[in-house]
Amino acid sequence: MNHHQIDMFRAFGPTLLPRLIDADHLEGMEDYGDYAILTYTLAKPLPIKEVLDDMEDNMDLNVLYHIETFSATKRGEHCCAYSVPTSGRMYKLNAQTGSDRMLDTLYVYIFDSLEVMLEALKADLAQHLSRGIVISKMEMSRLVADFM
């Protein structure tokens, strides 16, 4: 992966979403060739509603989905947002809560190409739609149109 993109995100991420991305709370970074994953812990756990509000208020981000999940032993919520491709940045943000509905970890995927990013977003959406109750989701046609 091009580490320039990772360095750029690490530099501007805290200004993009200051309550979610803090350089001092970067817990890990994994490079998979076509993409990398940065794992951030939040200084203070936040309700997922506040996290979604922060994502929606950012003009460079589109919220892909917000899902409530249930299982025999736990429940929680998942959300995903991605950078608008015209911004010149290629990343997606994934977060999930525990049964307390508080978010304490954020996963940032940074991509090398729009094609890999689009396929990852499509797969992420398809995977999560079958896991619970859809609170909100972007239509596939809108997602694909963002990459045209």
Mean pLDDT score across all residues of the chain: 89
Q: Provide the 3-class DSSP secondary structure of residue 63.
A: strand
Whether the CB-CB separation of 141 and 122 falls below 8 Å is answered with no
Whether the pLDDT of residue 74 is over 90: the answer is no
Q: Please state the domain extents for the chain.
A: 3-146
pLDDT for res 38 = 96
Whether the pLDDT of residue 136 is over 90: the answer is yes
C-alpha to C-alpha distance for 122 and 115, rounded to whole angstroms: 11
pLDDT for res 1 = 60
